[in-house]
Structure 1
Amino acid sequence: MPKLAATHHECIRLYDPHDGEDNKLRLTGRHETSSAEKFTWGVANRAASVRIPRGVAIAGKGYLEDRRPSSNCDPYQVTRMIAESIFLR
């Protein structure tokens, strides 16, 4: 998670075709969203930036749910940014 946290503000801009402006309106920290200003993560926490399902945490392997991308994002750019954040930095 520290690697994803380190690129949080870059991700917020990239995950939104309007350079992060729509994400700032959507990610307010209310209504089961995390704030666009701060990276958070948690197990079964729907209000976190990145959510790890309970079953994944118990198994110690699996997937994570990045809740920051907007619905109109470019999925290829999101995948690239996650991979770059984790593997290349």
Structure 2
Amino acid sequence: MEKLALVVVVSACKLKPYFQSHPIEVLTVTPLCTILHGPCHSRRLAKWAVELSEYDIEYKSRISAKAQVLADFLTKLPANKAILGDGNRT
């Protein structure tokens, strides 16, 4: 969960002018908003929540479409030569 929060923090740092001038919607399947603003979180998450509070960020749950489910599966699947094929079939 901390990695997901870190992605938002790094994006906010790299795209600071955009984050300051536009409302941002973060689509996620994880409860990122409750993690960042919940009472039981680490000091690191608390620091990131304070950094992100200056921006107009709205966290929304992403509804998976049929095509998106396959894409999510492929991104989580480890790279394996047997699955991907190495071109050397005997």
Bigger radius of gyration, 1 or 2? Answer: 2
Query: Same-fold call, TM > 0.5?
Result: no
Q: TM-score, normalised by structure 1?
A: 0.29
Q: TM-score, normalised by structure 2?
A: 0.29
